[in-house]
Amino acid sequence: MTLAAAAVLTATVAFAQNLDAGKPPAKLFADGCATCHRSPRGLAKGRFSLTLTWFLKDHYATSSDSAKALASYLESMDTPPRAAAKPGARSSRSAPRPPRPVQGQ
């Protein structure tokens, strides 16, 4: 009886550890990251996938499998709109406004 119980327990723990690995990265992101990062876009920032995997493993994901999956997911979402980064894009930014004059003092 005790042995069987132990076996069941071990199996349960192993299953629990593998739960994340079975999820698609989009779900991992929605579950674990979307609270703080609204969108997976722009997170990879053109990093190497290895660097990104390390970062994710270090900071968030528990298993290296899900870190890898997340890293490639972020990369796939991280198609920077290079065409939009035109040299003249800066000038379109609105100039800083002068401070409002202080009145009644």
Q: What are phi and psi of 77, to 5 degrees?
A: -85, -15
Position with the least CB separation from ligand HEC: 33
Least distance between ligand HEC and beta carbon 25 (Å): 9
Chain residues that interact with ligand HEC, rule: CB under 6 A: 29, 32-33, 35-37, 43, 45, 55-56, 60-61, 70, 74
Between 32 and 65, CB nearer to ligand HEC? 32
Residue with tokens 């003249």: 88
Least distance between ligand HEC and beta carbon 87 (Å): 24
How many CB atoms neighbour CB 4 within 10 A? 8
Between 35 and 92, CB nearer to ligand HEC? 35
Between 12 and 39, CB nearer to ligand HEC? 39
Token pair in block for residue 41: 């876009």
Q: How far, in Å, CA of 70 to CA of 47, rounded?
A: 13
Does residue 29 contact residue 70 with C-beta atoms inside 8 Å? yes
